[in-house]
């Protein structure tokens, strides 16, 4: 089943008829097609949607904040009047940390992972805040009510935002609203509708067909002793606005029917593909990991967390180094310690302590003539990426002394990374302590992501 078709009603100007449009459009759509699920919610805190659609005086358990806090959209719904389902409003939506910190695609992701169908209508606030941006990002169609030249100028920001997010200009439509039909002009454009339409076309904006007139009857529908807001369909049948809304709803329904691929469906497909790609990359990465210490060949054990993780800059080979093996390597070859350093030696503790906050990079030594294939430089960086020390040794020395007992996997790794014919000159090995090994004895996904980040910054530094 296709994900829902989303219509966002937006304008940076207040009082242009957004909420009247969103709420009544929902009712007219439902009147045209009873079977079509129509869902409505508002990011505004005026509670017009709740006042218009709530049946009885029930207290809602959920509201629109759930769209940002990981709830499923279909669980937030309340069955409303006129067959429209709505998500109750929230007074302090913008204070929620989940809303403040949300990306533009948060709402779209929620809708993409939910089960809503049919048409979703979103009423927004008169600002281009994070909530409006989310509503625009998710939209198949944006309807922008304009009532005068000033509100028309304001749409530029909406267009710019949509363009920056890859949303086609064609998804946006202006709709002249609150048009006072009594006012006539001399010249080619005889009324406000004609004039606004001409302005819009002049600026390259597309319009919905027709307009919504200003009507005292419509204005009176939200002021009554019951404190309710009455729909135009039931209480304003005698007005032109009723005919204009019927025409508008038909246009919307036609566009919905003709829309082959809904934006939320596309986003869902994109997210699924991304997830599969990530899982595939992780799987490959795990398969390439060697389950033995690259130096001593001992098995990598989950309960023992004193490991360093090592990966080539092309990400092709990675593996673990036992802490003691790695510190031996450092002491002997890079700090030239002649004697064996006993496990109880405080130097080891010192190294362990400082290695928590550093990372190591091994690469071919740089000379004036480029990179030197016979020497390796060993860099040590602190957490902020500042170089703390640097030592260069000849590979020969490393090979002769350290590999007395035959080639270790680390040496093979060095050979493959630096010495083979076809290796890239700027290859390096990144070595960093790992805090924990997962159940399967491999690196956690997030840890590997952090490791990758360090890899990128090292690559940039060594350029």
Ligand X SMILES: Nc1ncnc2c1ncn2[C@@H]1O[C@H](COP(=O)(O)OP(=O)(O)O)[C@@H](O)[C@H]1O
Residues in the chain, total: 463
Token pair in block for residue 67: 């769209």
The answer to whether residues 99 and 71 touch, using CB atoms and an 8 Å cutoff, is no
Among 52, 218, 325, 376, the residue binding ligand X under the rule CB under 6 A is 218
Pairing state between β 358-367 and 428-434: antiparallel
**Cβ at position 241, least distance to ligand X in Å:** 5
**Cβ at position 118, least distance to Mg ion in Å:** 23
CA-closest candidate to residue 430, choices 446, 445, 412, 450: 450
- Cβ neighbours of residue 225 closer than 8 Å, sequence gap 6 or more: none
Question: How far lies 74's CA from each of 34, 48, 87, 207, in Å?
Answer: 19, 21, 9, 32
CA-closest candidate to residue 345, choices 355, 331, 358: 331
Assess 19 for contact with ligand X (CB under 6 A). Answer: yes
The per-residue b/e assignment along 303-318, b for 16 or more CB within 10 angstroms, e otherwise, is eeeebbbbbbbebebb
Nearer to Mg ion, 53 or 411 (CB): 53
Task: Give the range of 12-20, 49-57, 233-241, 285-293 binding Mg ion by CB under 5 A.
Answer: 12-20
Assess 147 for contact with Mg ion (CB under 5 A). Answer: no
SS3 content of the chain, % helix, strand, coil (to 5): 45, 20, 40
Assess 12 for contact with Mg ion (CB under 5 A). Answer: no
**Cβ at position 445, least distance to Mg ion in Å:** 43
Task: Give the range of 39-47, 61-69, 76-84, 238-246 binding Mg ion by CB under 5 A.
Answer: 39-47
Nearer to ligand X, 38 or 212 (CB): 212
Assess 215 for contact with ligand X (CB under 6 A). Answer: yes
CB burial of residue 261 (10 Å; 0-12, 13-18, 19+): exposed
Assess 13 for contact with Mg ion (CB under 5 A). Answer: no
User: 42-61: which residues touch Mg ion (CB under 5 A)?
Assistant: 44
Interatomic CA distance for residues 38 and 128, integer angstroms = 25
> Strand, coil or helix: what is 289?
strand
For the chain, the distance separating the N- and C-terminal CA atoms, rounded to the nearest angstrom, is: 50
User: 15-34: which residues touch Mg ion (CB under 5 A)?
Assistant: 18-19
DSSP 364-384: EEEETTEEEEEEEEEEEEETT
* Residue 241, contacted partner among ligand X, Mg ion, none, CB below 5-8 A by kind: ligand X
* Residue 125, contacted partner among ligand X, Mg ion, none, CB below 5-8 A by kind: none
Nearer to Mg ion, 177 or 321 (CB): 177
Number of residues near ligand X (by CB under 6 A): 15
Task: Give the range of 90-98, 198-206, 208-216, 368-376 binding ligand X by CB under 6 A.
Answer: 208-216
**Cβ at position 107, least distance to Mg ion in Å:** 18
Nearer to ligand X, 214 or 285 (CB): 214
Instruction: Give, for 157, the enclosing helix (H) or strand (E).
Output: helix 149-164
* Residue 265, contacted partner among Mg ion, ligand X, none, CB below 5-8 A by kind: none
Task: Give the range of 216-224, 252-260, 380-388, 391-399 binding ligand X by CB under 6 A.
Answer: 216-224
Token pair in block for residue 7: 């219509």
Number of residues near Mg ion (by CB under 5 A): 3
**Cβ at position 426, least distance to Mg ion in Å:** 57
* Residue 427, contacted partner among ligand X, Mg ion, none, CB below 5-8 A by kind: none
Assess 178 for contact with ligand X (CB under 6 A). Answer: yes
- Chain positions contacting Mg ion, by CB under 5 A: 18-19, 44
């Amino acid at each position: 089943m296709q994900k829902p078709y989303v219509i966002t009603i937006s304008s940076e100007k207040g009082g242009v008829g957004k909420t009247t449009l969103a709420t009544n459009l929902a009712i007219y759509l439902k009147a045209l097609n009873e079977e079509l699920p129509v869902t409505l919610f508002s990011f505004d805190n005026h509670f017009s949607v709740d006042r218009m659609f709530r049946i009885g005086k029930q207290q809602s358990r959920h509201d629109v904040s759930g769209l940002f806090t990981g709830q499923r959209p279909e669980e937030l719904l309340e069955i409303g009047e006129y067959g429209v389902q709505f998500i109750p409003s929230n007074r302090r939506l913008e204070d929620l940390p989940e809303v403040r910190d949300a990306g533009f695609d948060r709402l779209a992701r929620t809708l993409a992972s939910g089960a809503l169908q049919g048409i979703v209508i979103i009423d927004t606030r008169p600002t281009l805040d994070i909530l409006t941006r989310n509503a625009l990002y998710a939209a198949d169609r944006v309807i922008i009510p304009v009532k005068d030249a000033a509100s028309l100028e304001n749409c530029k920001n909406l267009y710019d935002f949509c363009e920056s997010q890859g949303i086609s200009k064609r998804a946006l439509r202006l709709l002249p609203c609150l048009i006072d039909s009594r006012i006539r002009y001399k010249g080619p454009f005889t009324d406000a509708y004609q004039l606004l339409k001409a302005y819009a076309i002049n600026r390259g904006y597309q319009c919905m067909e027709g307009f919504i007139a200003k009507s005292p009857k419509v204005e009176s529908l939200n002021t009554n002793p019951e404190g309710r807001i009455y729909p135009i369909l039931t209480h304003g049948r005698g007005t032109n606005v009723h005919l204009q809304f019927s025409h508008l709803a038909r246009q919307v329904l036609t566009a919905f029917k003709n829309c082959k691929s809904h934006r939320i469906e596309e986003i869902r497909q994109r997210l699924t593909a991304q997830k599969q790609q990530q899982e595939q990359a992780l799987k490959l990465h795990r398969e390439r990991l060697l389950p033995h210490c690259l130096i001593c060949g001992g098995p990598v054990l989950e309960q023992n967390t004193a490991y360093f993780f090592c990966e080539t800059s092309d990400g092709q080979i990675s593996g673990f180094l036992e802490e003691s093996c790695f510190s031996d390597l450092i002491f002997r070859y890079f700090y030239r310690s002649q004697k064996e350093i006993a496990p109880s030696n405080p130097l080891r503790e010192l190294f362990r302590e400082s290695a928590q906050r550093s990372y190591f990079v091994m690469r071919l030594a740089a000379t004036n003539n480029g990179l030197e294939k016979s020497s390796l430089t060993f860099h040590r960086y602190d957490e902020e990426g500042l170089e703390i020390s640097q030592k260069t040794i000849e590979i020969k020395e490393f090979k002769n002394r350290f590999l007395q007992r035959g080639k270790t996997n680390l040496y093979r790794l060095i050979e493959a990374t630096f010495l083979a014919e076809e290796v890239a000159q700027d290859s390096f090995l990144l070595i960093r302590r790992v805090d924990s090994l997962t159940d399967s004895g491999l690196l956690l996904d997030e840890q590997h992501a952090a490791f990758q980040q360090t890899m990128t910054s090292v690559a940039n530094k060594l350029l």
